[in-house]
Amino acid sequence: MKKRFFITGADSDTDQTSLTVGLLAAAARAGARSLGLKPIATGANLINGALRNRAALLIQEASSVNLPYEQTNPIVFELAVEPYVAAMKSNRLVTVSRLEGFIKGALLTPHEFTLVEGISGWRAPLNDREFLSDVAKALGFPVILVVNIEPGGLNHAILTAETIVRDGLILAGWVVNIGQEKMPFYEDSVSSLASLLSAHIIRCVTF
């Protein structure tokens, strides 16, 4: 049975890729054919004449299923800005149907475990009518939420979790960044969030 999840962050500062890469590596060690996708990315450098995003390259490398970069990350922009802004500045239109088509095409490759990593936050705009969350809704995969423990972090996490569920998707769990454990009352913040979110904490990871 295939296991497929959508990775999102409570805000744009969460390092979703560290979690994605870690889970892909763990799946590969367990013998599962793992496949990671970064359907849209901003912030890229020219490598051998082609734009390449660092997060997408890490995801491609961590996947045990070998896909060309263009399938791992079909839409990439050089500017490190919000996807809607990057698309406008590049005179390109990004749509949910196009992203969904790219993802489902890649999923035709035999695999057992898939992670589709988002960009920015749950409601990151893609154009003037559609959001990244619409891609997740079209896929219907359970969602894993990456959370920062910082001022305002609990608010962001709770609002995002509520929106995911309101959008009709399963919140499979959440992951907290322990790179911030030196923050005052860090453990209290994690405990408070655990009592407020309906989903279980999966684990704590250092980003």
Catalytic residues: 38
Instruction: Please choose, from the candidates 87, 89, 83, 86, the residue with its C-alpha nearest in 3D space to the C-alpha of residue 38.
Output: 83
Q: Could you give the 3-state DSSP secondary structure of residue 152?
A: coil
Q: Are 52 and 76 in contact (CB under 8 A)?
A: yes
Instruction: Please choose, from the candidates 169, 149, 166, 158, the residue with its C-alpha nearest in 3D space to the C-alpha of residue 197.
Output: 158
Query: Alpha carbon of 73 to those of 54, 56, 170, 178, 184: distances in Å?
Result: 11, 6, 25, 28, 38
Whole-number Å distance between alpha carbons of 164 and 94: 22
Q: What is the CA radius of gyration of the chain?
A: 16
Instruction: Please choose, from the candidates 127, 149, 123, 150, the residue with its C-alpha nearest in 3D space to the C-alpha of residue 137.
Output: 123
Whole-number Å distance between alpha carbons of 183 and 178: 10
Whole-number Å distance between alpha carbons of 156 and 169: 18
